[in-house]
Every structure is written in C-alpha cells, then in structure tokens.
Amino acid sequence: MTGACLPPDCDTVIPYEQLTRQDRHFSVSPGSFVPGRFIHRRGSDHAAGETLVPPETVIDSRVAAVAATIGATTLPVLRKPRVALFTTGDEVVDSTSRPADHEVRQSNAAALHCALSAAGALLTHYQHLPDNPDATVSAVEEYRDCDLIIFCGGISKGKYDFVRPALERLFGSPAFHGVAQRPGKPLAYWEGAPAVFALPGNPMSVQITFHRFVLPFLKAAQKQTPLPQMVSLGSKITFEPLLAYSIPVRTRRREALVTAQPLPLSNSGDFASSIQSDGFVELPAEYTSFPEGVLVPFRAWT
C-alpha cells in the first residue's frame, strides 16, 4: 500500500496498477524493475536542523500542516496589537436609537470593529465621548497601556473639535496634523507608546484613512508589509485641487489586467454608495488629470 514501510532486502516498488493479473499470477511490463523506484527515503525531504518556516511567517494552513508533521504543537507568535477606540460627537447617537433631526446614528464604531478584527488587532476598549476635552483626557488616561489609540471625529478646526488639545495634554504635539488628501485631510498622528491616530469623523474619511494609514501601521506591528496592487483606471478622472485623491472603485479582471472603474461619492459621509466598490485607488497630488488606462495604486476593503 502507498506509504507502507519497505520490507527488508527489497529495493524497488512496482505500483499495483502496472501489474497484469492472470488468475493467481501477476506479470509486469518491461522496465518496471528500476532499483530505488517509488521509494521515498526517510529524511530525504529536508535535512535535520533545516529551517522549514522562517521567522515572521503568517500562520496559515500550510504552516499548520508543517508544524503538525514535525510535532510542533505550540508555536511562538507575536501578540495581537491592543487597540482602544474612541468616537466623538454630541450629534452621534447609538445605532439602536432613533436620531433627532440634528443627529446621526453611530456607524464608525461598527466599521472599525470589523476592520480591526480583519487586521489581526484586538479591540480592548470602545467608548463614545462627548465634545468635552476634560472627558476626553479622563477617558484616554485609563488606556495608555494599549499599543494603539484610535479617535474618530473632533480633529478638525471646528468650535467643538477638542480632540487635538485634549491629546496634547497627554502626549504633546502630534507628529503631523493635516494631510494633503481628500477625503481625510484633518488626519493626525502621535508617535510613541501608545501611538495615536485621530481620524476625521465622516464615514468615508474614516474608512479610507484607516486602510491607507492605520492598517499599514497594524500590519507593520505584526511584521507584515502589505503593498497596494497596481490597477488600470477604467475611465478618465479630473481632480483640480492639488491633493492626493482617494476614490472607491469596482474592479474587473480583463485577461492579465485588473481594471478599476471609479464610483464617485456625493460627499465624504456617503459610505452607502461605496457598497458596490471593492476598495479605492489613490491618485497622486502632482496631477489634476488621470487618463483611462493609467496604472494607479489600489487598496482593497478586505
């Protein structure tokens, strides 16, 4: 049988399907007797001491199979990044509530909960904060032992945008505040332990800035370096401001080329229109016109 031990004093295997049976006798075709044929010698796949799975490899079904084969029942792994998430805004109510005319239901928390889980991070705390700097400082103070803190909203220049001054009381000046991009221009980042990302509050801005900035940060913490895929733009785009422009797209494969068809949104709060998209493309700030067929970076939602 396949995989059985070779009997003593034997040096060749003839597969059963190569035999011809006549009553109780078997005959073989010429050339079947090749010494050593169909024998897999012990230890012939890899040498003793050889590295089978290099460090910083993501554990998948192949790695699990190799580990089980060699009897490695436990493996050292990186700890999942611990994340505290805060959303802000007196106008934002729970998704189970009926909003008043001036209110909106909470969507960013649900979106980032899913995105963080898919990124391999551990969401250890979530809290919605009022537009109050003292409440913000008090809430964040309890979770400074996290690896990453994420804020949604309150980071622009409005009268009730208190996130930056509150975070400066705890962590000092940000590494940067403001990125020449649309959507997501008010994005801010604080280096250190914990690192802090403050994302704009509009749902589309949250989604794009998370995938463009926060996700690479989390992947780097897990020793991964995901790179955007290059795709062909499906139609011409003109964008006058000198800003990097991210726009949702629907991708289609045409032979060896992936084409991305832009799906313009009405505004940065219009995330529902992006449901038909697979991700977004990044158009650099150096140009205002992007012809059909030009190759551009693409980042998938999942």
Q: What is the mean pLDDT of the chain?
A: 91
Any domain includes 239: yes
Q: Specify the number of domains making up the chain.
A: 2
Q: What is the pLDDT at residue 269?
A: 67
CATH number, domain of 294, equals 2.40.340.10
Q: What is the pLDDT at residue 65?
A: 96
Same domain for 162 and 121: yes
Any domain includes 72: no
Same domain for 203 and 92: yes
- Name the percent of the chain lying above pLDDT 90: 68
Burial of 176 from C-beta contacts in 10 A (0-12 / 13-18 / 19+): exposed
Chosen domain end from 182, 205, 221 = 221
Same domain for 243 and 202: no
Mean pLDDT over 222-239 rounds to: 92
- 174-214 tens-digit pLDDT: 999 999 999 999 999 999 999 999 999 999 999 999 999 99
Chosen domain end from 189, 221, 253 = 221
d(CA 151, CA 89): 11
User: 62-66, 78-82, 156-160: lowest mean pLDDT where?
Assistant: 156-160
- Name the percent of the chain lying above pLDDT 70: 98
Same domain for 125 and 106: yes
Any domain includes 263: yes
Same domain for 114 and 193: yes
Q: What is the pLDDT at residue 261?
A: 96
Q: What is the pLDDT at residue 218?
A: 96
Most confident option among 14-23, 240-249, 269-278 = 240-249
Chosen domain end from 188, 221, 254 = 221
pLDDT at 160 over 90: no
pLDDT at 268 over 70: no
Q: Using 50, 70 and 90 to split pLDDT, how confident is the model at 3?
A: confident
pLDDT at 29 over 80: no
CATH number, domain of 214, equals 3.40.980.10
Any domain includes 67: no
pLDDT at 159 over 90: no
Any domain includes 180: yes
- 90-138 tens-digit pLDDT: 898 888 889 898 988 999 999 999 999 999 999 999 999 999 999 999 9
Q: What is the pLDDT at residue 28?
A: 83
Same domain for 93 and 209: yes
Q: Domain residues for 196?
A: 82-221
Any domain includes 18: no
Any domain includes 178: yes
Mean pLDDT over 85-93 rounds to: 93
